[in-house]
Chains A and B, each alone.
Chain A
Amino acid sequence: MTTMGQAQSVLTTDKITQLAPELPRRSQSNLARSMRRLRKHRMAIAGAVILLLIALWVIVGSFIFTEQQANTIDATRLNEAPSSEHPFGMDEVGRDVLIRTVYGGQISLFIGVSAAALEILVGTMIGLAAGYFSGKNIIDSVLMRLVEIMLSIPQLMLVLVIVKMTVGKITSFTILGREFSSVMVIIIIVIALTSWMQVARIVRSTVLSVREQEYITAARSVGVNDFSIVFRHILPNCLSPIIVAATLGVGAAILLEAYLGFLGLGVPAPTATWGSMLSAAHDEGILTWHLWLFPGLFIVMTVLGINFLGDGLRDALDPKQLNA
């Protein structure tokens, strides 16, 4: 402490201004520092670029082709191999595979992103509640038992059972002139409700370490209520692990949707998803390679991009690397 004090007293104002360019810029926010580190992370940039290209593919593609075209059947050209007219070939009932990867990708990505968002929401809320009330009342132990129970059932089996429970009880709905099956919504909710546990655990342990800090005591002593303490003072400390978990969650959800589609409990036809395209290709026979190669590659590229980006985010948001 004393050496610090002396050092400070020695530094006069003009000396500080002279030194200023070499001192770390204090005013720079955590976010800006993390972004700078992320930009330097080559793998993370590669991941972001891959994801951007895939997003462009499914968005721009849907302006070029209509959804009608994705479901148009040309019975004379079943399983036709890729040609210049249809670069990805035709599928088992004579639909253009390229257009279906566009519209299938939209559904797959939408399911992945919204399931991950919901998963993070549920996991964060439960983790915050459990951590904040830990040791005060039984909320924490009840929630942690729930986490244990949920973690002991294999996720894929649980998802299959719940989807099977709810499928067929609801109808489809229409948004922006496109008809969506409600199974899609169910799949999103089910994936989220069976994968929040890890997030809850991370958030809870962060809360447990943060809530003993002095600034929380200070906030409480000036009369800040529980709600503000949790959401304004504790939650921001949990953001880095949450962001990483959200990124990786998208990839996991896309894969889970593909598994569901493959096992016959995915979004029903004629709506395409990458998963259901794979499933149809497997039923049709592996020899017609163009049916499974393209949707399979799209899933791999998406998950790859997400993992690269998630890896970079983990490094960039790590508070231990403050001056990188």
Chain B
Amino acid sequence: MGRYLVRRLLQIVPLLFILSFGLFWMMNSIGDPLSIFAEKRPAPTGQQAEEMRRRLGLDKPIYWQYITWLIGNDWQLVDVRGDGTLMQHGTRLGVLRGDWGLSFVTKKPAFQLLSDRLPNTLILMLPQYLIVVILALSIGMYSALHQYTRFDSFVTSTSLILYSIHIFLISLLAIYFFGIQFSNWGLPPLPFNGTGDGTIFTNPLSWISHLILPTMCLVVIQVGGYIRYVRSSMLDVMGQDYIRTARAKGVSENQVVLGHVLKNAALPLVTLLGTDLPLLLTGAVVTERIFGWPGMGQLFIQSLDRSDYNVLMAILMVASLAVILFQLFTDIAYTWLDPRIRYS
């Protein structure tokens, strides 16, 4: 197990290098990050713009820019005027030393912008995800235990319909009724834009009230798929020989369902969680936009608009790393939960 883990971790390293170079190359083609300065008053002259370009290293070939992004340029001299007269040391430390560069727009460190927004995304995504998992486990389990009853067929068809609903329609409907029409009907309307004042610690009530609508919508669109998944894997396990053996031994029905069926049926769910959890970081792009939630997805869209590639790189790398690490966690959790699987 230890050797397996080391090998997997070592495989991640080249993966990250290839990934980051590929993304960096793309970042370079999405637009000129300096175009934002052209709107400044007074507009920078051609010479000033050239100087800025050299300071930021944007005149260098792409592989050199990537090296600068990776390990910084404080060990090399930057020829600011391009004629060898004004040589300065670079200021970048590079990602490997924890410097993700500055945002071209706000001049703040990219990583700080990211870490300001990340908690907001987690606050939006984690509670709804927990609700989805709990609902899916209980409804899916009940439905599987009562297969072909009226409840079961209701659950199966409803979950397929919910599974097909997209975030737009459900959130626009929710905002229309709970956010706007509620006040016309004399009911207290639910807020649907932003987070309210303060932070979650100073003003928790406002945050919670702002969370209700987006959480509700996300639960509605996600729960269908999960219920179907839990139900079918429960049914799968219930048909296995070892369940019949357990019943034949006289194990109580509760013990069979909770100890044998649920435990084995939860295994595929672990895989699903492992692939879906990291995607929550980015899956919120559209939801955050609809509800004006200041999370990472919004930051991504704003940065993309302005070709602010240091910030974009930080977001993309953190999201990709989360995907890769969760994949590893899933595999490890699997060996732990399922003694039949052993990696060598």
Contact = CB atoms under 8 A, between A and B. Distances in A.
Interface of A: 43, 145, 148-149, 151-154, 156-157, 160-162, 164-165, 251, 255, 258-259, 262-264, 278, 281-282, 286-287, 289, 292-293, 296-297, 299-300, 303-304, 306-308, 311
Nearest to A298: B169
Interface stretch (B76-84, B121-129, B197-205, B284-292): B284-292
Contacts of B319: 153-154, 157
B169 A304 contact: no
A164 B286 CA distance: 17
A315 to B, nearest CB: 12
Contacts of B234: none
A304 B304 CA distance: 32
A262 B172 CA distance: 13
Contacts of A157: 282, 285, 300, 315-316, 319
Contact of B15 (A148, A161, A287, A296): A148
Interface stretch (B107-115, B159-167, B249-257, B330-338): B159-167
Given A145-B15, A278-B168, A303-B166, 18 more contacts: A145-B18, A153-B19, A153-B320, A153-B323, A154-B320, A157-B316, A160-B301, A161-B27, A161-B316, A262-B168, A263-B285, A286-B172, A293-B169, A296-B169, A299-B166, A299-B168, A300-B165, A307-B160
A264 B304 CA distance: 11
Contact of B316 (A151, A153, A258, A297): A153
Nearest to A291: B172
Contacts of A278: 168, 172
A264 B29 CA distance: 19
Nearest to A311: B160
A300 B26 contact: no
12 contacts: A149-B22, A153-B316, A154-B323, A156-B285, A165-B26, A259-B286, A262-B168, A263-B285, A286-B172, A286-B179, A293-B169, A304-B161
4 smallest A-B Cβ distances: which pairs? A296-B169, A154-B282, A304-B164, A303-B164
B168 A292 contact: yes
A177 to B, nearest CB: 32
Contacts of A251: 164
Interface in B229-272: none
A81 to B, nearest CB: 14
Interface of B: 15, 18-19, 22-23, 26-27, 29-31, 157, 160-161, 163-166, 168-169, 172-173, 175-176, 179-180, 278-279, 281-283, 285-286, 289-290, 300-301, 304-305, 312, 315-316, 319-320, 323-324, 327
Most chain B beta-carbon contacts within 10 A, residue among A145, A153, A162, A282:
A153
A43 B160 contact: yes
B304 A161 contact: yes
B281 to A, nearest CB: 7
B26 A282 contact: no
Contacts of A145: 15, 18
Nearest to A305: B164
Nearest to B321: A152
B53 to A, nearest CB: 20
Most chain B beta-carbon contacts within 10 A, residue among A148, A154, A164:
A154
A263 B301 CA distance: 8
B286 A263 contact: yes
A153 B319 CA distance: 7
Contacts of B312: 161
B164 A153 contact: no
Nearest to B323: A152
Contacts of B23: 153, 161
Contact of B176 (A165, A262, A287): A287
A160 B172 contact: no
A160 B160 contact: no
A165 B30 CA distance: 4
B289 A262 contact: yes
A296 B168 contact: yes
